[in-house]
Amino acid sequence: MSAYPKSYNPFDDDDAENEDSRPVPWKDDRDLPDGLGAPADRQQYLRQEVMRRAEATAASTNRSLSLMYESEKIGVASSEELIRQRGVLERTEKMVDKMDQDLKTSQKHINSIKSMFGGLVNYFKSKPAETPPEQNGTLPPQANSRLKEAISTSKEQEAHYQASHPNLRKVNDSDSIPGGTGPAASTEAYPKNPHLRAYHQKIDSNLDELSIGLGRLKDIALGMQTEIEEQDDILDRLTTKVDKLDVNIKSTERKVRQL
């Protein structure tokens, strides 16, 4: 069994110069004092420790709220970029369809030039359906309803965030105590200490907002997934049309050279 006390600090002992000196006990400011006032001091220490941990928890939930808010803003921005990308794909598909229609008209004229018989065939052949020209004010791209609803809900909530947390991006730990008593919840579940009760109410309020915010983030993620799947279908359809158009262009070039 060791001859030194449990709180002995080996680094305070100079084993070369002070071999006969007694070991210096390890001192820590958080150690509970001994003596006549130890029970009262212990209670005071425990109260301070509870307050310190409650304050740290409230500050942590504030930071979590800030990160969730930033994530939601990034999700909304990414969703809007997906919608813009959908508009580009839809316009590209319309352009490819228009090119295919123009190419069919060109092939019809080439057949008319090549022979009298081809001209007669083209005369009696039904004309390809012409698409009406697009107006200058094109309609904005329409995303899937799930994503549109998620974006709308998040944007509506943004004003509430700014009103209830004006300094949410720069959270100050000292501001984690709410000014009032919070919502009229059952106060019997909270401690009697008003400061500790304020911390607990703030933590519960932040956790409720986190739960609702994470639900909105989930809706945005699912809406983005649906939008990406729909755009994949547009890309597959567009790839098929472009491949077909490329074959028709090469065929038309050969016919032009044979004139």
Mean pLDDT across 194-223: 90
pTM of the model: 0.62
User: Is 15 contained in some domain?
Assistant: no
User: Is 155 contained in some domain?
Assistant: yes
User: Is 32 contained in some domain?
Assistant: no
Q: What is the pLDDT of residues 39-66, one digit of tens each?
A: 678 888 888 898 899 999 999 999 999 8
**pLDDT on residue 59:** 92
What DSSP assignment string belongs to 117-156? HHHHHHHHSPPPPPPPPPPSSPPPP---HHHHHHHHHHHH
Q: How many domains are contained in the chain?
A: 1
Residue type at position 53: R
Q: What is the pLDDT of residues 120-129, one digit of tens each?
A: 555 555 555 5
User: Is 173 contained in some domain?
Assistant: yes
User: Which residue is it, tokens 């077909």?
Assistant: 244
User: Is 82 contained in some domain?
Assistant: yes
**pLDDT on residue 243:** 92
Reading the block at residue 11, the tokens are 């680094």
Q: What is the pLDDT of residues 75-122, one digit of tens each?
A: 999 999 999 999 999 999 999 999 999 888 888 777 777 665 555 555
User: Is 149 contained in some domain?
Assistant: yes
Mean pLDDT across 71-76: 92
- Banded model confidence at residue 136, pLDDT cuts 50, 70, 90: very low
User: Is 1 contained in some domain?
Assistant: no
- Mean pLDDT of all residues belonging to the chain: 75
Domain span at residue 218 reads 37-258
Percent of the chain clearing pLDDT 90 (strictly above): 33
Phi, psi of 8 (to 5 degrees): -65, 135
In this predicted structure, the answer to whether residue 2 has a pLDDT above a threshold of 60 is no
User: Is 90 contained in some domain?
Assistant: yes
**pLDDT on residue 34:** 54
**pLDDT on residue 156:** 80
Those residues whose C-beta lies under 8 Å from the C-beta of residue 165, and which sit 6 or more positions away, are: 65, 66, 69
Those residues whose C-beta lies under 8 Å from the C-beta of residue 54, and which sit 6 or more positions away, are: 196, 199, 200, 203
